[in-house]
Amino acid sequence: MKKILLIRFSSIGDIILTTPVIRALKTQLNCQIHILTKETYRSIFDTSPYVDRVHTFREKLDEVIPQLRKEDFDFVVDLHKNLRSFQIKRALRKPSASFPKVNTEKWLMVNFKINRLPKEHIVDRYFQAVESLGAKNDGKGLDYFIPEKNYADLNNYPLLKKKAFVAFAVGGKHYTKIFPAQKAAAIISCLQHPVVLLGGKEDRETAEQIKEMCSHDRVLNACGRLNLHQSSSLIRQAALVITNDTGLMHIAAAFKKPVISIWGNTVPEFGMYPYEPGEENKIVIAQVENLKCRPCSKIGYKKCPKGHFQCMMNQDEDFIIREAKRLLSL
């Protein structure tokens, strides 16, 4: 193999979970690695030493297909596996492979609570797409590379310089995956460490509510003020990361940080829990066990379908506080 195209269109977390495959292909096969993704996510790949070229599109695949054809790839690794990635493979007419997406198993779990999901992380399922090429998981975990210009200098954040700090990722794409503000505030109030709240512009109001309910002099609301790399830099320097099931959770895992991962309407059994091989003692899963309506979706909703939101409202705050203190003492 001289040149391989790897397809993963979105989103942040899913892209980061492809990085062990990218590293294995580059280091073990010594070939050119090209990536196809959405323009929005280019910056995640641009900084990787294992990626030779990034191809992107904004709306339509027609924007990029002529360029891809000129590359004359030897093989296509499809780590998205949807209609759009099929269109790319059909247009290129090159040997290709994908991974088991287990959609049927997820459907059974969501609709009938029948668990036939494989007991393996999605990273290991991704590697099934490159088995025929001889690439194997090196066990080194995820990658995330921050450009030097985006590295957050703690001198600019006096609060975070006082002592080891906690990063709390308060956002998420779906409401049913977001930890309620009042519960987040209750946990933060019981910690003796400074806390930085991370998320996008859409999370800023929620973060302000959390800050209002806490001691103001110990909480920094950085939501919407930093780009992804800058937020990631703060995560890299944090002593602990508390996070919803979101992209920042996987970035924390890439830096081998102690992580408390809070799960609402989805479940870790889908295979996308924090991936830190050999560092499992640093990972804590917070979830409401034995809730009959959970999981109600493989992704999430704008509101709880049942109206009670017990998967988040019944989260054990005391458990999260105890585990946070334990991880901070490591």
Q: Which residues of the chain have pLDDT under 50?
A: none
pLDDT for the residue 217: 85
Q: How many CA atoms lie within 13 A of 139 on its CB side?
A: 3
Q: Nearest to residue 148, comparing CAs of 236, 50, 52, 16?
A: 236
As a whole number of angstroms, the distance between CA 128 and CA 21 comes to 10
Instruction: Return the SS3 of 149.
Output: helix
pLDDT for the residue 240: 98
- Measured in whole angstroms, how far is the alpha carbon of residue 254 from the centre of its chain? 9
Q: What is the pTM of this model?
A: 0.97
Q: Is the distance from CB of 206 to CB of 182 less than 8 angstroms?
A: no
| CATH fold match for the domains 3-133 and 148-328 | yes
CATH number for 148-328: choose from 3.30.540.10, 3.40.50.1980, 3.20.20.70, 3.40.50.2000: 3.40.50.2000
Q: Which CATH class is domain 3-133?
A: alpha beta
Q: Is the distance from CB of 36 to CB of 58 less than 8 angstroms?
A: no
pLDDT for the residue 93: 98
**What is the 8-class DSSP label of residue 181?**
H
Q: Which long-range contacts (CB under 8 A, 24 or more apart) does 158-164 make?
A: 159/194, 159/196, 159/217, 159/218, 159/220, 160/194, 160/196, 160/220, 160/234, 160/237, 162/194, 163/193, 163/194, 164/193, 164/238, 164/239, 164/240, 164/328
Q: Break the chain into its structural domains and give their ranges.
A: 3-133, 148-328
